Amino acid sequence: MISEEILQSLGIPQNVYDFCHAREVKLRPQFERIEAIAEYNQAKVLAAFQKNRVAENHFETTTGYGYNDLGRDTLEAVFADVFRTEDALVRPQLICGTHALSTALFGILRPGDNLLYGSGQPYDTLQGVIGLREELGALTEFGITYSQAELGADGHLDPQTIVAAIRPETRIVALQRSKGYLTRPTLAVSEIGEVFRAVKAVRPDIVCMTDNCYGEFTEIIEPTEVGADLCVGSLIKNLGGGLAPIGGYIVGRRDLIERCAVRLTAPGLGKEQGPTLGVNRSFYQGLFEAPAVVEAAVKTAVFAAQVFQDLGYEVTPGPDEARHDIVQCITLRDPKLLELFCAGIQQASPVDSFVTPIPWDMPGYGGSQVIMAAGNFISGATIELSADAPMREPYTAFLQGALTWEHGKIGIMKAVSAMQSVRKLAEDVPVQGSDM
């Protein structure tokens, strides 16, 4: 229990605490399932560390060319074992998830190739990489075409539709596991596997690739265990455990990883170069702590779903649904409420809690201003408690992260408290309307 004095210092009214705490009590069965997944993944990571004989000397660093960086090479072997793949590319030179995805796409695709997205339109920042939005250096400048298969009416993948969309020149079939700025369901690993099996049945030569951002360690298996040739993500999301200061990863088939490495460095250099510049220890410890951090983030998402559903808002996924990423959608249908929600999350932050987030024209996001709440230790690290949203209908907040469950709970209470300035909190379950 939090004392009344501390609640007052945090700006959380007692009625908000009581309302939210009652929802936490309801969630014990869901929390137990989340804890079981974290336990499995923790054991899997520990086994990979021990198999590769991780030692203190692996935390040493390199500069310049980065030749003979034993810590870097061993870390990549650990990642490959965690994902059950042949090889991995884990580098601080991959500055974000979009950069890692771009490196993989440019590494594999050649002029005349076709990229097919089987999960509908990809995330905003990747649209510029592909050329759906005009950006300098996009894939389309190199004669690479793009096509997509739409999701079914239920928001899920349709393997037959995806197979039917394959062209003779299709080189990559890609799936985006998380929802981006949509409210569709996140893809389960089993669903991803069903699609890739269907693709390989008709075209074994096609590279099956998954954008795995936000999904790592939310299940006990990863897409590479069900047919993905490549899996790509960011280290300032799940797998960095809140400790990685930068970085991305690409895991998969050895021949494809080498192509990606050549794209990241240069032909003839590949994986041999790339200094770690003092981040090895953070990368190792972040990966080791990632299962527990993801557990905290998923608990926070489930808690937010229960609280805001009981406040009368539409939430995706619901509090009782299975989780395949750490993102929680909360549809507020009001720009003022969206700004207040983000302000509450910001006020709960350990860093820059005094800052008010405002919508702005964020680089890489075309069409709408974006509001972001993120008072984080690592800039932009969405494994830390954060929220963002495009300022457009239906004004949906995308909540993610929390390094600890306790902080996640406080963050949700602060968001509810901020929104009380325009809506009242009823004693029991209110109905969405002019008053709550």
Domain layout of the chain by residue ranges = 4-41+291-419, 56-287
Angle between helix 335-347 and 405-419 (nearest 10) = 140
SS3 content of the chain, % helix, strand, coil (to 5): 40, 15, 45
pLDDT, average across residues 57-77: 97
Q: Which CATH number fits domain 56-287: 3.40.640.10, 3.40.190.10, 3.30.70.600, 3.40.50.300?
A: 3.40.640.10
Query: What percent of the chain has a predicted confidence (pLDDT) above 70?
Result: 95
Q: What percent of the chain has pLDDT over 90?
A: 90
Tell me if the pTM is above 0.75: yes
CA-CA distance, 348 to 343, in Å (whole number)?
9
Return the closest-CA partner of residue 154 out of 316, 386, 340, 6: 316
| Angle formed at CA 235 by CA 263 and CA 401, multiple of 5 degrees | 145
Q: Which CATH class is domain 4-41+291-419?
A: alpha beta
pLDDT at 296 over 90: yes
Residue 218 pLDDT class (50, 70, 90 cuts):
very high
Do the two domains 4-41+291-419 and 56-287 of this chain adopt the same fold? Answer: no
Per-residue pLDDT for 150 more than 80?
yes
| Amino acid 291: pLDDT | 98
Which amino acid, one-letter code, is at 318? G
Please say if the pLDDT value at position 124 is more than 90. Answer: no
Greater confidence, 180 or 236?
Answer: 236
Q: Give the pLDDT score at 424.
A: 58
In this structure, the number of other CB atoms found within 10 A of the CB of residue 433 comes to 8
The encoded tokens of residue 122 equal 């990809």
Task: Tell me the average pLDDT across 377-385.
Answer: 95
